[in-house]
Chain A
Amino acid sequence: MADIREARMGVIQRILEGHGESSRAERRSAFDDAGLAEPLGSLVHKVAVDSWNVTQKDIDAARASGHSEDQIFELVVSAAIGQANRQYETAMAALEQAAKE
């Protein structure tokens, strides 16, 4: 069986606690898709729930709000991993519940 436990926790730890241009609090908010001020809040929410609808305008608005490209990069990555991780954990919990019966 493929074992991603350690590697998955490793990537999450790096993006949330490692060195970055954005603050750890902002990365955590992006990861949780909660609590970021506009226009970043909208960008991060789109990344989490309908990433195909992200536009250049969304990225430009984040830039115009004073965020550097590196900060936007970090927050988008945090949002993507956060949503993928919530889905993964929900599905693994459902699997555990189904398999133990």
Chain B
Amino acid sequence: MRLSILDKGHTLGSKLMFAMIGLFSGQRVVDAVKLVMYRPEFYGGAMKKVVHEAMRGPSSWSVGDRELMAAFVSKMNQCEFCIKAHAAVAERAYGEDSKVSAVLVNLETVPISEALRATLRMLGKLAREHTVSADDMRAVLAAGASREQIADALAVSFGFETTNRLANAFEFFVPGPAAFEAGAKFLLGRGYR
């Protein structure tokens, strides 16, 4: 973490919570948690509500689909921590890992619905080029995604376009697979609140 306040500047209450998490999970608290717990009245408290609604609120996308979108957007933004964290949640949610890693390697060849593929393609363009057109949206609608599904995907994108930038700028530490497994279990059970 490039700012020491994000590593060690938390309130005593938060530090105690980190110690408890460490005790129960056997893992050090990850930097994503440290970020949202630092001065939560400025950023983390309000942002957790956005991300929880996008990732776990009502949607005709499954939780696995939305976690896959988060991992995919993170790949476009070259955020290693976020790719690994959300690929692990998506794999756990789907109950299979091949689809997630295959999408991250080559979106065009993996057997998924055309609606999901077109949605991911659009999210990828938005991440790379910072813009999309009405024609891009027409292509996603033509592939079978509904207007509501596209809006839901854009809500996921808003959350991770933000988080990826912060993880990159502050340089989140990338732990080993066991930490991401523990994190995935927690995020599937409790969400982002």
Contacts and interface: CB of A to CB of B under 8 A. Distances in A.
A19 B162 CA distance: 21
A76 B169 contact: yes
Contacts of A94: 132-134, 136-137
Interface string A32-46: 000000000001001
B131 A2 contact: no
B59 interface: yes
Contact of A80 (B42, B131, B166): B166
Specify the main secondary structure of chain A where it touches its partner.
helix
Interface in B68-97: 77-79
A97 B2 CA distance: 41
B3 A11 contact: no
Given A87-B130, A91-B126, A51 B152 contact: no
Interface residues of B, number: 56
Interface residues of A, number: 48
Contacts, number: 156
Contacts of B131: 87, 90-91
B144 interface: no
B3 A77 contact: no
A10 B77 CA distance: 25
Nearest to B9: A69
Contacts of A18: 41-42
Contacts of B159: 84
A92 interface: yes
Contacts of A54: 168-169, 171
A11 B134 CA distance: 27
B49 interface: yes
Contacts of B6: 73
A77 B59 contact: no
19 contacts: A1-B58, A1-B152, A2-B54, A2-B58, A4-B50, A4-B155, A8-B158, A14-B41, A18-B41, A19-B42, A51-B165, A74-B42, A80-B163, A83-B161, A85-B158, A87-B161, A91-B122, A94-B133, A97-B134
Given A10-B50, A87-B131, 14 more contacts: A2-B53, A2-B151, A2-B155, A4-B158, A7-B49, A11-B49, A51-B168, A80-B163, A84-B157, A84-B158, A87-B127, A90-B131, A90-B132, A99-B137
